[in-house]
């Protein structure tokens, strides 16, 4: 057996009810690492171009990272990957918890699912026994109820499942794990729903072979000891307050979008913001917990007596911002309620918050009224109306049915100029990070192969994270002058994009760049046994990003034609607030970025010579 990975993947065909193990050569791991790097290669080659993302020929994959399953710190992530039914591009969604490590324990580096069942099913892989079972008993249950029932039936298993939103094929639906961890973006809940697949339930006992276990233990002990000793830095803050620690600082700085991206901190002043700060959220905490192999433990179980919620999960920053400042809602208890509603329904909190914001602005501008909303008065900050509307979206009832696939779809249905209030990128509601604050996020939102995503690469994220503390990876050195417009900045964007693909494919938490210097190359050597340089790693990342790009291009999507809403990029510029006077030329970024990546700057097509140099020759016939 190789070190660090299992050397095989599992195919599940729901149409004919079969399982097939496939061994993979070592070279494919060296070329694509794991996670969505490996997923991109396998899905690209096995799913025909322009396949209906909600059709039986669509493939959805569950892939742990290369380092996942080891004790390497912060390496417990897994990726869901395939074609997004929301954007019709390459899609992926990052998730934590225990599920990724359990896939490795089952003996696989990925589980790929194709076909579609005629009736609701769930898949079990338990101690090498694989079955496709009837899911009528759990179809229609929310994600918590379904998980509880599966554990009751099968014991100590790890579960990824969908809720009612995915069953109804909402394009905002997601895949849930451990009742609150969401593979939230790209609409993969709908993909599972289209296949009549309610859940994956897995349990294994296979051991992961480690190249140098003594070195791994030593590296991990040193990193974790530094984490515990950092009583004033981000690791301590994340453990204490979770990601809600950003609720206050991000809003004050201009990072958090306010009032459907059209407002400023004047619209959500400190007296409101203080009500939903991380410290206020923390008052409801009962206990901490975290992902597999994570010393930070940023998750938490909460108890909210005011809402009769005895055991729910802490809302993260994105959820708090989407249901808070974006809607001018300062009711803290409602944030817990809304987060819990979405988790149980299996629907993305960012997307739902952005959709409600769209509806509220339409209401404010008299494009819709109480007759349209079923009597709901969608005024800014109206907590009762927000909760009621989210419930309607979840069950697809009344006005909620119009909103169920997000603001792009809703604006197309409503018309009347409502499209100006639909804040999205190719259908994906934009995350809670403002382009006018993180400038290079404009290129990411508009032109990444998975558009509208904050977990795709941004140079500014790396600047604010790794550059304000110790260097993130000591071998990773950005060129001088990368902070200002020009060649060095474009090179820095390329380098960060390449490294970011490796981070995701290794199974690492992206917040590692906020903490301390991370021993990435040392961990790869200790776990897998590879002597790998930063240059080779960056080339692998470039290969992964280019193949993700090629997948999207092959689907007929020209990302270079995509445009972000004017208010997102400061066109016209805001007159007040921390982002006043700023207009971001994100289109200039894409041309220079493409040149650095070896892609055509006019349309984003990877050039023939680039594909050949990256050993992606099999793509050339599809694009040329």
Residue with more model confidence, 295 or 234: 295
Please identify, among 422, 455, 489, the residue that sits at the C-terminal boundary of a domain: 422
Question: Model confidence at 232, in pLDDT bands (50, 70, 90)?
Answer: low
Please report the DSSP string for 392-433 in residue order: HHHHT-THHHHHTT-HHHHHHHH-TTGGGG--EETTEEP-SS
Please identify, among 422, 451, 483, the residue that sits at the C-terminal boundary of a domain: 422
Indicate the SS3 state at residue 131. Answer: strand
Mean pLDDT of 310-325: 96
**pLDDT value at position 457?**
84
Question: Model confidence at 226, in pLDDT bands (50, 70, 90)?
Answer: confident
282 dihedral zone (left: phi>0; alpha: psi -120 to 50; beta): alpha
**Is pLDDT above 90 for 238?**
no
Nearest to 183 by CA among 359, 349, 10: 349
Identify the CATH number of the domain in which residue 545 sits.
Answer: 1.10.599.10
**Is pLDDT above 70 for 465?**
no
**pLDDT value at position 7?**
97
The answer to whether 398 and 374 are in contact (CB under 8 A) is yes
Mean pLDDT of 221-234: 76
The answer to whether position 27 is within a domain reads yes
**Is pLDDT above 90 for 589?**
no
Nearest to 389 by CA among 414, 352, 424: 352
**Is pLDDT above 80 for 366?**
yes
The answer to whether 404 and 391 are in contact (CB under 8 A) is no
| Rounded CA separation 292/101 (Å) | 7
Indicate the SS3 state at residue 91. Answer: strand
**pLDDT value at position 248?**
95
User: Do 371 and 277 fall within a single domain?
Assistant: yes
The answer to whether position 338 is within a domain reads yes
14-34: pLDDT as tens digits: 999 999 999 999 999 999 999
What are the residues whose beta carbons fall under 8 Å from the beta carbon of 308, sequence distance 6 or more?
Answer: none
Lowest-pLDDT choice from 266-280, 325-339, 407-421, 458-472? 458-472
| Rounded CA separation 558/601 (Å) | 12
The answer to whether position 517 is within a domain reads yes
The answer to whether position 218 is within a domain reads no
Lowest-pLDDT choice from 49-63, 198-212, 459-473, 596-610? 459-473
303 CA to centre of own chain: 26
Cis, peptide link before residue 177, omega less than 30° from 0: no
Identify the CATH number of the domain in which residue 35 sits.
Answer: 3.60.9.10
User: Do 529 and 388 fall within a single domain?
Assistant: no
Domain boundaries, position 298? 243-422
Token representation of residue 513:
């760049």
408-434: pLDDT as tens digits: 999 999 999 999 999 999 999 999 999
User: Do 272 and 399 fall within a single domain?
Assistant: yes
**pLDDT value at position 464?**
65
What are the residues whose beta carbons fall under 8 Å from the beta carbon of 397, sequence distance 6 or more?
Answer: none
**pLDDT value at position 470?**
53
**pLDDT value at position 80?**
98
| Rounded CA separation 281/369 (Å) | 34
User: Do 59 and 113 fall within a single domain?
Assistant: yes
First-to-last CA distance in the chain?
A: 39
User: Do 589 and 562 fall within a single domain?
Assistant: yes
308, 313, 319, 321 alpha-carbon torsion, rounded to 10°: 70
**Is pLDDT above 90 for 406?**
yes
The answer to whether position 430 is within a domain reads no
User: Do 189 and 288 fall within a single domain?
Assistant: no
User: Do 383 and 496 fall within a single domain?
Assistant: no
The answer to whether 393 and 347 are in contact (CB under 8 A) is yes
Question: Model confidence at 510, in pLDDT bands (50, 70, 90)?
Answer: confident
61-89: pLDDT as tens digits: 999 999 999 999 999 999 999 999 999 99
Lowest-pLDDT choice from 383-392, 508-517, 520-529? 508-517
**Is pLDDT above 90 for 233?**
no
Question: H or E stretch including 287?
Answer: strand 285-289
User: Do 47 and 181 fall within a single domain?
Assistant: yes
**Is pLDDT above 90 for 145?**
yes
Lowest-pLDDT choice from 97-101, 234-238, 276-280, 606-610? 234-238
**pLDDT value at position 230?**
67
User: Do 446 and 376 fall within a single domain?
Assistant: no
The answer to whether position 177 is within a domain reads yes
**pLDDT value at position 104?**
98
User: Do 263 and 315 fall within a single domain?
Assistant: yes
Parallel/antiparallel/unpaired status of strands 111-114 and 8-13? parallel
Token representation of residue 387:
């909760």
The answer to whether position 482 is within a domain reads yes
Identify the CATH number of the domain in which residue 333 sits.
Answer: 1.10.569.10
The answer to whether position 233 is within a domain reads no
Angle at Cα 533 formed by Cα 530 and Cα 536, nearest 5°? 95
Mean pLDDT, all residues of the chain: 95
**Is pLDDT above 80 for 234?**
no
Question: Model confidence at 231, in pLDDT bands (50, 70, 90)?
Answer: low
User: Do 189 and 254 fall within a single domain?
Assistant: no
**Is pLDDT above 80 for 471?**
no
The domain total for the chain is 3
User: Alpha carbon of 181 to those of 307, 355, 436, 476, 515: distances in Å?
Assistant: 21, 21, 29, 31, 22
**Is pLDDT above 70 for 124?**
yes
User: Do 264 and 129 fall within a single domain?
Assistant: no
User: Alpha carbon of 333 to those of 18, 91, 239, 244, 381: distances in Å?
Assistant: 46, 33, 21, 14, 13
């Amino acid at each position: 057996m190789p070190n660090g990975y299992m050397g095989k993947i599992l195919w599940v065909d729901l149409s004919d009810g079969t399982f097939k193990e496939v061994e993979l050569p070592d070279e494919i791991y060296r070329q694509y690492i794991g996670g969505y790097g490996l997923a991109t290669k396998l899905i690209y080659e096995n799913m025909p171009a322009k396949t209906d993302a909600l059709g039986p020929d669509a493939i959805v994959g569950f892939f742990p990272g290369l380092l996942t399953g080891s004790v390497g710190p912060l390496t417990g992530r897994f990726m869901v990957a395939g074609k997004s039914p929301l954007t019709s591009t390459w899609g992926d969604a990052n998730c934590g918890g225990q599920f990724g490590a359990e896939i490795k324990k089952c003996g696989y580096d990925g589980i790929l699912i194709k076909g579609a069942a005629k009736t609701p099913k769930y898949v079990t892989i338990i101690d090498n026994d694989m079955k496709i079972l009837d899911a009528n008993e759990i179809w229609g249950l929310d994600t918590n109820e379904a998980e509880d029932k599966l554990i009751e039936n099968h014991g100590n298993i790890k579960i990824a499942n969908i809720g009612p939103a995915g069953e109804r094929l909402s394009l905002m639906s997601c895949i849930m794990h451990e009742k609150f961890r969401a593979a939230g973006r790209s609409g993969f809940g709908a993909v599972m729903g289209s296949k009549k697949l309610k859940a994956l339930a897995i349990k294994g006992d296979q051991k992961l072979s480690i190249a140098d276990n003594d070195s791994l233990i030593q590296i991990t002990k040193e990193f974790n000891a530094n984490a515990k000793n950092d009583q004033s830095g981000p690791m301590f803050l994340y453990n204490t307050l979770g990601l809600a620690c950003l609720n206050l600082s991000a809003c004050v700085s201009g990072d958090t979008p306010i009032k459907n991206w059209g407002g400023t901190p004047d619209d959500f002043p400190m007296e409101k913001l203080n009500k939903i700060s991380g410290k206020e959220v923390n008052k409801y905490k009962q206990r901490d917990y975290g992902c597999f192999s994570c010393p930070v433990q940023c998750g938490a179980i909460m108890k909210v007596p005011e809402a009769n919620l005895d055991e729910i999960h802490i809302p993260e920053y994105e959820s708090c911002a989407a249901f808070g400042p974006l809607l001018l809602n300062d009711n803290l208890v409602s944030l817990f309620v809304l987060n819990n509603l979405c988790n149980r329904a299996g629907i993305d909190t960012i997307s739902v918050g952005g959709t409600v914001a769209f509806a509220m602005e339409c209401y404010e501008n008299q494009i819709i009224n109480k007759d349209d909303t079923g009597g709901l008065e969608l005024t800014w900050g109206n907590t009762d109306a927000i909760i009621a509307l989210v419930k309607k979206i979840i069950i697809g009832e009344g006005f909620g049915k119009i909103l169920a696939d997000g603001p792009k779809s809703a604006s197309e249905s409503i018309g009347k100029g409502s499209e100006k209030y639909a804040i999205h990128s190719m259908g994906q509601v934009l995350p809670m990070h403002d382009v006018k604050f993180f400038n290079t996020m404009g290129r990411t939102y508009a032109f990444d192969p998975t558009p509208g995503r904050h977990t795709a690469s941004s140079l500014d994220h790396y600047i604010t994270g790794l550059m304000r503390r110790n260097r993130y990876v000591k071998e990773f050195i950005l060129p001088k002058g990368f902070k200002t417009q020009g060649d060095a900045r474009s090179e820095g964007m390329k380098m960060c994009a390449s490294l970011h693909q490796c981070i995701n494919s290794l199974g690492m938490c992206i917040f590692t760049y906020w903490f301390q210097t991370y021993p990435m190359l040392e961990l790869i050597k200790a776990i897998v046994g590879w002597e790998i340089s930063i240059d080779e790693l960056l080339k692998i990342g470039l290969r992964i990003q280019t193949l993700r790009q090629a997948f999207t291009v092959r689907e007929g999507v020209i990302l270079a034609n995509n445009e972000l809403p004017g208010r997102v990029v400061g066109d016209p510029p805001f007159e007040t607030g921390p982002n006043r006077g700023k207009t971001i030329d994100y289109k200039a970024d894409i041309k220079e970025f493409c040149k650095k990546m070896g892609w055509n700057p006019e349309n984003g097509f990877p050039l023939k010579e680039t594909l050949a140099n990256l050993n992606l020759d099999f793509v050339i016939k599809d694009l040329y």
